[in-house]
Structures are given as C-alpha cells and as structure tokens.
C-alpha cells in the first residue's frame, strides 16, 4: 500500500475520535516535507491528458498541488490534527507560480497548517503547500478545508448576490468514470469521487468530480502560454457546489474570470492573473 493509501486508512480510523469545534483546539506546528525530486513522467503525462494540458512544455500550474497532496493527507490524518479528515470539504484554493516550472525541476515540497478559523457552517483550516527549487520559493498554494458541525451562530448571514453569469465558451460532457481516472492519475482516491455507492455513504446522491480536476480543466481551457510572458501566474477558485457524475457542464469565461455551470447553478468561480 502506498503512503497515500496508508494515510487514507489512518484517516478512516482516527476520524471518529476527533471532534470538530472543540474549544481550545490547536493546529500541529510541524511540517511535512518531501526532498527535492522531479516529476515522474508517467503520472505527469496521465494527469496532463485527463485535465487537458499539453503533454510537453512547462509543468501545469496545478501539478505541484498534486505532488504535495500525499504530504497534506499525512498532515491532516496525523494524531495532532484537530479535525476529522472524513467529511472535510475543499472550499477554495489560491495558487501562485513565481516562475514557470518544468518537469525536470527537482522540487522540494513543504506542507503545513497555517490557520484554524470559525466558519458559519463549522471550522475551516488553511493548508499551505510550498515548492522550492535550489532553495528558492518558486510556487505556493493556500487551500481552505471546511469541517461542518453545529455552531453558535444566532442567525444566517445576509444572502450574497448570485455570481454574474459569464459568456459560455465550451460544453464538457463528464463521464461516469472521470473520478476514477483522475484518482488514478493524481493519487486522490477519496471514495466520494469513485462510485455512487461509496459517495452515498457521505451524503451524496452520486459520486462527484474532484474539485482540483475542475480547476485544472479550467486552466487548461485558458490556453496558458509556454513562455514566461503571458503565462498564468495566479489562480483563485471557490468551490460552490459539487459536480455529480456523469453530467454535462458549461465552462464560461470573460477576461480573467471563469466559472463552471450546470443545470442546478454555478459549481465553481475563479479568476487568473497573468505575467505582463
């Protein structure tokens, strides 16, 4: 069993003994690290194909997050991590690439938990992933994960305006096996993405697409350039609603903003900035 597989098993075992929202809860101060290593060609090629990136050229902006995911899972399934990993919901991500990265770059990865904050639906943790090349920070991401539980909020917050509907660009038909294929390429085999039966155990009517596949597919659609000028430097994405599989969704974009819509509304909103 791989290290990621062991982390998933450990998360299943330890989650029932953790209580989100416990007063005085603190985050672990340690960091999970991976020594410098280039991307493995086979998994990178499989990831690029399933997400729509070119199989040559710079490393996709989202790929260091995939490389760091086993470290994040090890962190979040550790004994000192205060939230149960089962049921954690990925709510947002911000990625910054300080320069274009290449598959041969030997990236050193570090993952740590930066912040634990109250949320109207529970408790949210911010997990940071950093990539360094020859000691220099070249890439970083911040992700929000929500552990839902009862709170003392006396009233729901004021309603937010619905996102502006952006012009449609493309229609994507997502097959039933998308979660299994992306899981094989990325290593993220969370059961909510694999089969209807396993997803129903967590309250979903069917299995759902990975949020990080959706972000990556949107970036691939932007037509990122191969050079430094004009490349996507940063991306911010907010996950609004799960994408059930199979389904058909619409990718929409206007300038630097993008979104993914389905029959029941908006699944994801995001924006990019580019090098000038």
Give 16-39 pLDDT, tens digit per residue. 555 665 666 788 889 999 999 999
DSSP string of 204-266, one letter each residue = -SS-B--HHHHHHHHHHHTT--SSSTT-EEEEEEEE-S--BSSEEEEEEEETTEEEEEETTEE
* Average pLDDT along the chain: 87
* Nearest Cα residue to 80 out of 109, 54, 112: 112
- Would you call 173 exposed, middle or buried from its count of C-beta atoms within 10 A (0-12, 13-18, 19+)? exposed
Helix-strand-coil split of the chain, %, nearest 5 = 25, 35, 40
Alpha carbon distance 56, 46 (integer Å):
12
Model confidence at 9, in pLDDT bands (50, 70, 90)? low
Dist CA 211 CA 219 (whole Å): 13
Q: Which of 39-53, 161-175, 217-231 has the lowest mean pLDDT?
A: 217-231
Mean pLDDT of 154-170: 72
Query: What is the rounded CA–CA span in Å between residue 164 and residue 158?
Result: 18
When pLDDT is cut at 50, 70 and 90, the band that residue 154 belongs to is very low
Nearest alpha carbon to residue 218 among 276, 178, 170, 162:
170
Q: Is the pLDDT of residue 86 over 90?
A: no
* For residue 252, pLDDT beyond 50: yes
pLDDT digits (tens, 9 = 90+) for 87-141: 788 999 999 999 999 999 999 999 999 988 877 778 899 999 999 999 999 999 9
When pLDDT is cut at 50, 70 and 90, the band that residue 161 belongs to is low
First CA to last CA distance, the chain? 45
Rounded to an integer, what distance in angstroms lies between the CA atom of residue 99 and that of residue 228? Answer: 7
Q: What is the pTM (predicted TM-score) of this model?
A: 0.88
Contacts of 69 (CB under 8 A, 6+ apart): 4, 186, 187, 188
In Å, what is the CA distance from 214 to each residue of 51, 72, 108, 179, 250?
8, 19, 26, 11, 11
Confidence at residue 3, expressed as pLDDT on a 0 to 100 scale = 53
- Asked if 45 contacts 114 with a C-beta cutoff of 8 angstroms, the reply is no
Residue 46 has pLDDT above 90, yes or no: yes
Q: What is the pLDDT of residues 181-233, one digit of tens each?
A: 999 999 888 888 999 998 888 888 999 999 999 999 999 998 755 556 578 99
pLDDT of 159: 53
Residues 236, 218: contact at Cβ < 8 Å?
A: no
Q: pLDDT confidence of 238, banded at 50, 70, 90?
A: very high
Nearest to 242 by CA among 200, 202, 208, 216: 208
pLDDT at 12 over 70: no
Residue 65 vs residue 123, higher pLDDT: 65
Residue 38 to residue 203: CA distance in whole angstroms? 38
At 57 the pLDDT is 87
Report the percentage of the chain scoring pLDDT > 70.
84
Instruction: Give mean pLDDT, residues 151-156.
Output: 57
Using DSSP's 3-state secondary structure scheme, residue 9 falls into: helix
Classify 149 as helix, strand or coil: coil
Q: Looking up tokens 């910054």, which residue turns up? A: 96
């Amino acid at each position: 069993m791989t290290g990621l597989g062991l982390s998933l098993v450990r998360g299943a075992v330890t989650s029932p003994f953790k209580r989100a929202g416990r007063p005085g809860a603190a985050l672990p101060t340690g960091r999970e690290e991976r020594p410098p290593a280039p991307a493995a060609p086979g998994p990178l090629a499989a990831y690029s194909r399933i997400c729509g990136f070119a199989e040559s050229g710079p490393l996709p902006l989202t790929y260091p997050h995939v490389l760091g995911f086993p470290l994040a899972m090890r962190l979040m399934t550790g004994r000192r991590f205060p939230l149960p990993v089962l049921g954690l919901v990925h709510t947002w991500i911000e990625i910054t690439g300080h320069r274009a990265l290449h598959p041969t770059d030997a990236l050193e990865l570090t993952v740590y938990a930066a912040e634990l904050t109250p949320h109207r639906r529970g408790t949210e943790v911010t997990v940071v992933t950093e990539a360094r090349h020859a000691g220099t920070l070249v890439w970083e991401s911040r992700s929000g994960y929500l552990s839902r539980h009862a709170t003392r909020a006396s009233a729901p917050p004021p309603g937010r305006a619905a996102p502006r509907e952006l012009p449609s660009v493309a229609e994507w038909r997502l097959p039933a096996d998308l979660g299994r294929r992306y899981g094989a390429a990325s290593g993220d085999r969370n059961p909510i993405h694999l089969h209807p039966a396993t997803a129903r155990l967590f309250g979903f009517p069917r299995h759902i697409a990975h949020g990080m596949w959706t972000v990556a597919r949107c970036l691939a659609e932007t037509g990122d350039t191969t050079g430094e000028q004009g490349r996507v430097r940063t991306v911010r994405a907010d996950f609004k609603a799960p994408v059930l599989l199979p389904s058909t969704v619409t990718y929409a974009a206007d300038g630097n903003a993008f979104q993914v819509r389905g029959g029941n509304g908006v699944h994801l909103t995001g924006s990019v900035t580019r090098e000038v």
